Chain A
Amino acid sequence: MSASTSPRTRLRRGRLFRAIPTAWRTPLAMVGAIIALAWIVIALIAPWAAPHDPLAQQLPRLTAPGDASVLGTDQVGRDVFSRLLTGARVTMPLALLMVVSATVLGTLIGSIAGFVGGWVDETLMRLTDLIMAFPTVILAMIIAASLGPSLLNAVIAGIVVSWPQYARVVRSLVLSLRTQNFVIAGRLLGYSPWRSLRSDILPNVAGPVLVLASLDIGTAILLLTGLSFLGLGAQPPAAEWGSMISGAMSHIDAWWLGVFPGLAILTVVMAFNFIGDSLRDALDPLSSAEREGAAGGTEHEEPAAVENPTTEEGR
């Protein structure tokens, strides 16, 4: 039997490596992955797939979905379908940019705080407390408003409000890892602090941070569309889902103006949350052990501390 297929071996392997393939096996993750992939494809092909220029005001105004226009037209005669497809190109990459930046910033600050400790840690953690003390959305609104309404500023506001959660998680992981024997062994072998962080600590922080980030993509999309809805993000005439809904507010009887971008936001957020949830479950040792079923019982009674190398080979 090859090592990678035996359930016993899978239990012991690095959790992240194990988690990704198992995560895809749950139906929830499959649904999430398919929807997310579909939206990514849409975003990529939107310029060619859109039947009309998303900004051109050339169609009859406020026509209901029908033959002329699949999803209808808006108050100035733009094609809702074309705007919806183009919107995917705006929101998703920016949400991703926001999450990646917040992750990098949070991981950097969190690992410095955890590794250096002392007053550096104290100062950085009070800073995260300060930011986390405010309701996220309100704080993002204040920052976006003070920077001036634009989509980029909305992204910056998003990064400012979301890095502290990464910093806190990373800090606590680093704090527990730095006292682990293998990290100390590295230091005794002459690792510099930077090397210790890079080669011993951060690779073991990656798993939980990845889960946090994947769960955060949905939130980021919601935040960006929300800020655009409030007029603090994307500016007219940009084709952005949040501002599309915002524009629909004054034409409440033209239901198609709000419903379709709303559905777009709903499905994207849901898809990324499904993926994040499944990834978290797969990384959680408890739930993955349950899934292993058969091998679970023997492992739990008497841990397989086999001295004989040949039994290891056999698995």
Chain B
Amino acid sequence: MSTVLEATDLAVEYRGHRTVRAVDGVSLTISAGEVLALVGESGCGKSSTARAVIGMEKPHSGDIRFRGAPVPPLGLRRRKAELTAMQMVFQDPNSSLNPRKRVGDQIADGVTAARSRGLSSDAPRQWLGAVGLDPDMVTRYPHQFSGGQRQRIAIARALAAQPDLLVADEPISALDASSQSEVASMMRRLVLQAGAGMLFISHDLSVVRIMADRVAVMYRGRIVESGPTAMVWADPVHPYTKALLGAIPHPDGKGVLPAAPAAEAPAEWHEELPGALDRG
């Protein structure tokens, strides 16, 4: 499998009256045809990692390479055509689409990006169909869709660019619970069909279990455990991963309270366990 993304020792800092190091030495690689899920709780740095990888955030230090070439942060200049093979799906479906532009035209921008790299892409109508919407809706404006439908359109636009890498930052957390796993599965299917790789950011571990090949667990800016999803699930090694998995309540009707950590942020969660990284 060919590596599409390689991030090494990534650090992201936010300057304020106190500089916050949101991402502290994160390394990850994603190959074509694989979904890597980056999971963790709010503020752990997973979204900052995604934004840095795609170039929305200028990293403080570290190296990001897409297909071997460095990824410069989005600046004033137009992004090079090769880099349009990295696409992103955002958390908030309401701000993901231009309210003044027909959805078909927005998907067509993705098609144009694919063509600029000499690739063919389906027509916007077909992309709408691919994400489970009525192809005739191409002439509508975003406000005529529900939040969940808008997210599907944003996914269609990103995929229409025929990306080699899709970065999805909490793409399902704004959706109704009943459609979350469906949309996540759809994303996995379409990305893999295209032979691309995906970085899937989520705080919802149950969804990650069914759709990620590998998982990286982030805590306070660092990856504490990573490996094949099934392996991490069945046999978590790091204390934080154990706590995280143990705390998930399951809708099984058994009335079992999930395990609660004895304290907030116990010291053992900060431990560095080299054996927990890159398992499998």
Instruction: Report which A residues bind B (CB closer than 8 A).
Output: 3, 9, 12-14, 115-116, 180-193, 199-200, 203-204, 303-307, 309, 312
Contacts and interface: CB of A to CB of B under 8 A. Distances in A.
A292 to B, nearest CB: 14
A17 to B, nearest CB: 9
B146 interface: yes
B76 interface: yes
Contact of A307 (B95, B100, B146): B146
Given A180-B95, A181-B95, A312 B147 contact: no
B97 interface: yes
Contacts of B149: 307, 309, 312
Given A189-B87, A189-B157, A306-B146, 10 more contacts: A3-B144, A180-B95, A182-B99, A184-B88, A188-B88, A200-B98, A305-B146, A306-B148, A307-B148, A309-B133
B96 A182 contact: yes
A307 B179 contact: yes
Contacts of B92: 181
Contacts of B87: 188-189
B194 interface: no
Contacts, number: 104
B100 A203 contact: yes
Given A187-B79, A188-B79, A190-B78, A181 B90 contact: yes
A188 B74 contact: yes
Contacts of A192: 78
Given A182-B95, A184-B56, A190 B143 contact: no
Nearest to A315: B144
B148 A190 contact: no
A141 to B, nearest CB: 40
23 contacts: A13-B144, A182-B99, A182-B106, A183-B98, A184-B90, A185-B90, A185-B157, A185-B158, A186-B109, A188-B54, A188-B84, A189-B110, A190-B84, A191-B78, A193-B76, A199-B98, A200-B98, A303-B147, A305-B146, A305-B176, A306-B148, A307-B176, A312-B146
B86 interface: yes
Given A13-B141, A307-B178, A309-B134, A190 B113 contact: yes
B143 A14 contact: yes
Given A305-B146, A305-B176, A199 B78 contact: no
B86 A188 contact: yes
A189 B78 CA distance: 9
B144 A204 contact: no
A282 B29 CA distance: 51
A26 B217 CA distance: 57
A190 B108 CA distance: 13
B189 interface: no
A12 B96 contact: no
Contacts of B179: 307
Contacts of B123: none
Contacts of A188: 54, 74, 79, 84, 86-88
Given A3-B144, A12-B144, A309-B133, A190 B79 contact: yes
Contacts of B106: 182
Given A181-B96, A190-B79, A312 B144 contact: yes
Given A14-B143, A184-B56, A305-B146, A189 B176 contact: no
Interface in B62-109: 74, 76-79, 81, 83-84, 86-88, 90, 92, 95-101, 106, 109
Contacts of B120: none
A123 to B, nearest CB: 16
Contacts of B110: 189
| 5 shortest interchain CB distances as A-B pairs | A12-B143, A192-B78, A203-B100, A305-B147, A181-B90
A199 B134 contact: no
A171 to B, nearest CB: 16
A298 to B, nearest CB: 14
Nearest to B177: A307
B98 A204 contact: yes
Nearest to A12: B143
A307 B158 CA distance: 21
A208 to B, nearest CB: 13
A181 B90 CA distance: 7
